[in-house]
Structure 1
């Protein structure tokens, strides 16, 4: 295993950080909090103009030909500033998957997403269903097409998306559809989530989808869903790494500057121990993330590594987020203070597409299935 960043990772990381740090300010974040949907169009356009959106997509859709390692680098930098842009859902999940499996017509959606012209998304989560690989949403054959029925929750940027990837169960297995959200029978209701992300509840009431709307084929549906869930878990872990890394920097600075009883609070043993534990936790998130991303980039079996990474992102993320708030004391509870935003982002990443317990169970099931 090689943890040395690629040249493209270094370049993309520096470019993304320079753009994000310039445009994402506390004032801009507060402005977005009051918006109907928390989407930073100015930042999204800047990333598109700089080539960041296209860089880690395949050549076939006008991308730079890089992959998951570079995508994780971008997500880490966006996570550092809790940037309100759908890079994970639009680029890493939807556009990249369409590039890999889509028809020539469908790949045009990925090509346009790479330029920032449109936004794509993927609807993976369902209420009362802890196994997105077996969706409760169903599609029944109807002539030369299908009728799609069901609901998805916490769908990123659904109110802005031009197309939505929707996994559904059929009599022949799981199929992924490329759905137009303006179709008859689709209802999109914005949801209020913990970190004010632009997410929505999307209902499908007998939505007519044609055979041309099937991504890949009926036979490849389960493979596509597995790919989406794997990359979603790794992408969330990368975003969580950036969020926790920056939060640790902020709380470290505060512990050096905040004086109590004539001493910086960082010199108190209890505070120092919690900060040391948080430092180790962030190291664990970093190690397991890059292990999973590297395995994926090499085409190796990665199920164990992916569940381990998401477990650490959730479990360690919980501890670090609470340490940041506790060390800041009452200041950390102020919703106007920057660290509170990091707490909310870390909680979102902790539970999105499975909590620590969910992924620990899946990890245990994976390990139990390996022959001794």
Structure 2
């Protein structure tokens, strides 16, 4: 495995960084609990042809999406390979069966907290070992910790078009895409926290000079690097069409566990402003916490990983 980014990865990441840096403003992000999807930012990304690049380049771009908290369905477009509409992927958490079933060619069932479900034009539904494209569903928006883009998706005898997609591969791609976004979220949160520690003073000294603060920041740095390494290992194996179930579970474990620790470190070092929901840091805390549990948190990933290892022949 070559850990050096390719020219394609570097160029696409730079392009997405410029577009999101220019367009993702406080107004776009909205107030606490609002937002979730901005059509203008998404249309600008699509017009730039961002979805035409390869899988690893897309993961590099998703890191930039995480750094800016861009409210766009990039993660679902990359995971599904479909960007002609806003698609929502109604996937279960790791280790859990799909909430949908097929009877006489029609789909029924439900899935809660479907990312981008509140704004989706269509849904990708895993059921009975296949993935179905569903145009119409009963959708009820749900408020999540960071944005109002999720929804409870329910189907009752709904028609669906079977697609040439493997549901497990779709889940793995979505999981890795979320890990990429989490890396950007955590990198930005750590950068902002380190900057705050250099300028915020107590007892006439920057708080970054205190041993306890330095240790928290050092631990957070190591956590971010663990997310980075496990993410790219899983992403590379998927790009090479190699078995990647163990690597994907490992990457999501670190995205969840490190996400929890880094998010809380950022809040604690910021002190009182760290719990202000109107402060920009709160957006990163909320985003990290949401991704921590999306498609299964740390415990779910360890259970999945344990099952995979136990199934290996001695």
Q: Per the shorter chain, which TM-score range? A: over 0.9
Matched, 1:3 2:3: yes
State the secondary structure of the residue aligned to 2:2. coil
Cα deviation for residue 177 of structure 1 reads: 1.2
Residue deviations 1:260-306 (CA, integer Å, cap 9, x gap): 00000000000010000001100110011111111111122211111
Number of the residue aligned with 2:58: 71
Aligned pair 1:177/2:163, yes or no?
A: no
Residue 291 of structure 2 is matched in structure 1 by: 349
> CA 1:280–1:271 in 2, change beyond 3 Å: closer, same or farther?
same
**Within-5 A mapping of 1:47-86:** 47-52=45-50, 54-56=51-53, 66-67=54-55, 69-86=56-73
What is residue 245 of structure 1 aligned with on the other side?
187
Partner of 1:137: 100
Shift of 1:33: 4.8
Contact 2:99/2:111 (<8 A) preserved:
no
The aligned counterpart of 1:164 is: 123
Give 1:55 deviation, angstroms: 2.0
Q: Is the 8 A contact 2:95 2:300 kept in 1?
A: no
SS at the partner of 1:329?
helix
Larger RCO (alpha carbons 8 Å, 6+ apart) = 2
SS at match of 2:9: helix
CA displacement at 1:42 relative to structure 2? 1.4
Deviation by residue 1:287-334 (Cα, 9 ceiling, x = unmatched): 111111111111222111111100000001100000000000110100
What is the CA distance between 1:31 and its match in structure 2? 5.4
Paired positions, count: 314
Q: Distance in 2 between the 1:365 and 1:34 partners?
A: 39
Change (3 A) 1:304 1:130: closer
Corresponding residue for residue 258 of structure 2: 316
Distance 1:31 1:92 in 2: 27
Q: Secondary structure at the match of 2:283?
A: helix
Between the aligned partners of 2:159 and 2:192, the Cα distance in structure 1 is 50
Structure 1 residues 86, 197: closer, same or farther in 2, change over 3 A? farther
Which one has a bigger Cα radius of gyration? 1
TM-score (norm. length: structure 2): 0.95
Could you tell me which of 142, 146, 158 is aligned with 1:207?
Answer: 158
- The question of 1:227 aligning with 2:169 is answered yes
Alignment partner, residue 105 of structure 1: none
Distance 1:208 1:45, change over 3 A: closer
Query: For 1:176-200, what per-residue CA distance to the aligned partner results, in whole angstroms no more than 9, with x for missing partners?
Result: 211112xxxx311000111114111
Structure 1 residues 322, 242: CA separation in 2 closer, same or farther (over 3 Å shift)? same
1:296-311 to structure 2, matched below 5 A, reads: 296-311=238-253
Write the distance in 2 (CA, Å) between the matches of 1:355 and 1:157.
19
Secondary structure of the equivalent of 1:214?
strand
CA distance in 1 between partners of 2:217 and 2:28 (Å): 29
Q: Which runs of 5+ in 2 are unaligned?
A: none
Q: Which residue of 2 aligns with 1:119?
A: 86
Ranges in structure 1 where 5+ consecutive residues have no aligned partner: 57-65, 97-109
